[in-house]
Structure 1
Amino acid sequence: MSLQQHLLGPEGRQALTRLVQQQPLLAFDFDGTLAPIVMHPDTARTPPSMVPLLTTLARRLPLVILTGRQVEDVQQRLGFTPTHIVGNHGAEDLIEGPDARVVETLAPFRTRVEDRRTRLSTAGVFIEDKGASIAIHYRLSPDPVAARAVIDELLTELPPEVLIEPGKQVVNVLAAGAPDKGDAMHRLMARYGCRSGFYAGDDTNDEPVFERAERDWVTVRVGPRLDNSHARYYLQEQAEMAQVLQHLVDTLGA
């Protein structure tokens, strides 16, 4: 695993310029990547200053969103129309809908949540059922340690077909064998006939894309350099994404 380079440094900008010449697929996570992280997920939106840049890019290149949110949820938060959206960490497609097997696999866990609904709510834990995945949020809890204790009890002795994936003050509950973002990225590359790609994300569920990226892709993790990530580049913070979009637009214009 090589040392990550800052995407807005000379090497990163050169890589973006070369990539645009290959007519790549542009793919973005939403929360923490296009939109800043916020205290409550219902308030997340793409910053207005970025919307014209994304609109321009989507007119020129295939531009897709790969998000942990449901497709319908993220659509109203974008401010522009992408070429394609894949939700639920790869398990829900804009065209084909959520994976029915995955939704059914999580049914027993939903019962488990309902049995503990009062305790979870008292601890400040918010359950977001997205059909093909379930997110357990504790960002708003007044006592995160107590909230994690309640969550840990909820997650004990899960059947092998149910997996957990920690994130930023959230725990995602997924079905084993469900399509992930890496699967979705390669599927969309084939759908839109692209041989090269760009992907930006900020969390652990973006690593399948980073890990399986071809050598000529540009992959970027949003957040301070993390050398155990498979992303080739990093951005210090989400606000730097606007400069990346501007560079892409300028390169296309040239």
Structure 2
Amino acid sequence: MRHLFSPDGLAALDAVISRAPLVGFDFDGTLAPIVPRPETARVPLPLRHRLERLSALLPVAVVSGRSLPDLSDRLGFEPRYTVGNHGAERQGGTSAAGHELDGLRDWLRRYAAGLHAAGVVVEDKGLSLALHYRTASRPDHALATIRELLRPFGAALHTFPGKMVENVTAPGSPDKAVAVHDLVRESGAPCAVFFGDDVNDEPVFASAPADWLTVRVGFDDRETQAAFFIHHTQEMVPVIDRMLARLVADA
């Protein structure tokens, strides 16, 4: 995987921006740094100003695992599209029913004391549940506790890991790939650029046609289908600056 600021990466970025793509971003770990307390996450001010400018020139989407009400107060700018709950929640309606997770909700309430003792925090986002263990004193034990509680549900639920979190959605819920492909069609854009940092972004990377540009934020040992990478969220500022410069040059 090559860095986006390599010669090949910059050439690919310039070429795709010249086609006026949809530009999609994950939120946590992409636009906002990962923080110990998720409720404090915000888009940094320098990046926010650049995203405001970009949103006036291209269709911009934020596609997050957060719920839309949670996400909306953290951006500081108005993208054309926002998608929550890993792809299942859209502005003006939802694509899945939260009641499919009611059995799990009851099960987790039954074992609330054990989860609390393990340092697990349950976040109910309506169309998905997140079991966080970032602040657990023994993260391996917390993760084992979560997986043991989820094990009886088997294929009745869709579970996938994240950064110090296990996520749960109903089987068949739209994922981020479905959402981004839908937004490309809806916007009329010829292609897309997508930036993400976690497991739930991989379906977008894996499903991207050859003329899309996909970028992983963060470089580690995990396999990824993204074409390029940047090291961390701070590099989003020069990335957006490059996009804006290309758009000005093409105007």
TM-score w.r.t. length of structure 1: 0.95
Give secondary structure in 2 for the equivalent of 1:56: helix
Which residue is 1:127 aligned to? 122
- Structure 2 counterpart of 1:233, which letter? F
Could you tell me which runs of 5 or more consecutive residues in structure 1 were left unpaired when the two chains were aligned. Answer: none
Identify which of 57, 60, 70 aligns with 2:57: 60
Pick which of 220-229 and 104-113 moved more: 220-229
- Structure 2 counterpart of 1:79, which letter? G
Matched, 1:213 2:208: yes
Which residue is 2:137 aligned to? 142
Contact residue 26 and residue 199 of structure 1 kept, 8 A = yes
Task: Tell me the alpha carbon deviations over residues 121-142 of structure 1, each in whole angstroms, 9 at most, x when there is no partner.
Answer: 1221110100111000000112
- Structure 1 counterpart of 2:186, which letter? R
Task: Tell me the alpha carbon deviations over residues 60-91 of structure 1, each in whole angstroms, 9 at most, x when there is no partner.
Answer: 10000110000111110011011010100000
**1:209 shift after superposition:** 0.4
Which residue is 1:231 aligned to? 226
Number of paired residues? 249
Contact residue 177 and residue 207 of structure 2 kept, 8 A = yes
Matched, 1:97 2:97: no
Distance in 2 (CA, whole Å) between partners of 1:85 and 1:155 is: 29
Could you tell me which runs of 5 or more consecutive residues in structure 2 were left unpaired when the two chains were aligned. Answer: none
Contact residue 87 and residue 178 of structure 2 kept, 8 A = yes
**1:97 shift after superposition:** 3.0
TM-score w.r.t. length of structure 2: 0.96
1:167-178 matched pairs, under 5 angstroms: 167-178=162-173
**1:98 shift after superposition:** 5.2
**1:245 shift after superposition:** 0.8
- Structure 1 counterpart of 2:38, which letter? P
- Structure 2 counterpart of 1:38, which letter? V
- Structure 2 counterpart of 1:142, which letter? S
Give secondary structure in 2 for the equivalent of 1:160: helix
**1:226 shift after superposition:** 5.1
Distance in 2 (CA, whole Å) between partners of 1:148 and 1:181 is: 24
Contact residue 181 and residue 206 of structure 1 kept, 8 A = yes
Pick which of 91-100 and 53-62 moved more: 91-100
Pick which of 229-238 and 62-71 moved more: 229-238
Contact residue 32 and residue 44 of structure 2 kept, 8 A = yes
Task: Tell me the alpha carbon deviations over residues 39-62 of structure 1, each in whole angstroms, 9 at most, x when there is no partner.
Answer: 111011101110110000001100
Distance in 2 (CA, whole Å) between partners of 1:166 and 1:99 is: 20
Distance in 2 (CA, whole Å) between partners of 1:51 and 1:97 is: 27
What CA RMSD, in Å, does the superposition of the two structures yield over aligned residues?
1.3
The percentage of counterpart residues that share the same residue type is: 42
**1:148 shift after superposition:** 2.0
Which residue is 2:26 aligned to? 29
Which residue is 2:192 aligned to? 197
Give secondary structure in 1 for the equivalent of 2:56: helix
